Amino acid sequence: MDSEPIDPNIHKNSGFTRVFKALSYSLQGLASSMKHEAAFRQEVFLAVVLIPASFLLQVPLMQQLILVASVLLVLIIELLNSAVEAVVDDISLRNRPLAKRAKDMGSAAVLLSLLNCFICWASVIALNWDRYFS
What does the alpha-carbon distance between residue 90 and residue 112 come to, in Å, rounded to a whole number? 26
How crowded is residue 6: how many other Cβ atoms within 10 Å of its Cβ?
A: 7
Rg (CA), the chain: 20
Cα distances (Å, whole numbers) of residue 108 to 6, 77, 78, 111: 38, 10, 10, 5
User: Which residue in 4, 37, 43, 78 is the catalytic one?
Assistant: 78
Can 78 be counted among the known catalytic residues? yes
Query: Annotated catalytic sites, by residue?
Result: 78
